[in-house]
Amino acid sequence: MNHSSPRVAMLIIDMINDFSFEEGQDLIESASNLPEKVSILKKQLKSYNVPIIYVNDNYGRWQSDFKDLFNHCMQQQQNVREFNELIKPEEDDYFVLKPQFSGFYATPLDILLRQLDVQTLILCGVAGNMCVHFTANDAYMRGYQLFIPSDLSASLTKEENEQAISIMKTVLGATTTSSENLSIDSLLEDAEEYYDRTI
């Protein structure tokens, strides 16, 4: 199989985050193991040339670009800085700033994915029951195949996150295998087959 142009992209949702909102500290605690786990999968996927796209809230900072946003997060308190540092974007990663919960709403995400010839998405990030779920809904309506590893998103509580994962699996047909049990070779083959069926 040709790994030079995989039909899959990884969306990292709202992980560049200042957590300076009500319940922000509760969410960062709930998501504390995410940056390391997401980084491991990100590294594995990049070895197959899978594009990585940071899909991020702009927190009302309409005059900022993504680098400004990251720098802003790196000026917060220590636990916030450490969280962001662990999931720091690299030069060849893509980014899309969003004004609302869904990564597709009023953004160029769909155009970017079609330019990359991608029809399958791996979603991870915070919060699982909000921005990950809203993005998954919009992706599903646009015909994308979804992989949402059960251990790569977090909500305020574990129960809320499990409920969101369950809905995305049942209603949106998402594969929710945990990142440790995800076979990247199988995923890429599946994505290739899905792409061939849908073009």
**pTM of the predicted model, to two decimals?**
0.96
> What pLDDT is stored for residue 51 in this prediction?
98
> What pLDDT is stored for residue 22 in this prediction?
92
Indicate if the pLDDT at residue 160 is higher than 70: yes
**pLDDT by residue (tens digit) across 61-95?**
777 789 999 999 999 999 999 999 999 999 999 99
* Residue spans per domain, the chain: 8-198
> What pLDDT is stored for residue 72 in this prediction?
92
CATH superfamily of 8-198: Isochorismatase-like (3.40.50.850)
Annotate the chain with DSSP letters as a single string.
---SS-SEEEEEES-S----STTHHHHHHHTTTHHHHHHHHHHHHHTTT--EEEEEE-TT-TT--HHHHHHHHTTS-HHHHHHHHHT---TT-EEEEESSSSTTTTSSHHHHHHHTT--EEEEEEE-IIIIIHHHHHHHHHTT-EEE--TTSEE-SSHHHHHHHHHHHHHHH--B---GGG--HHHHHHHHHHHHHHH-
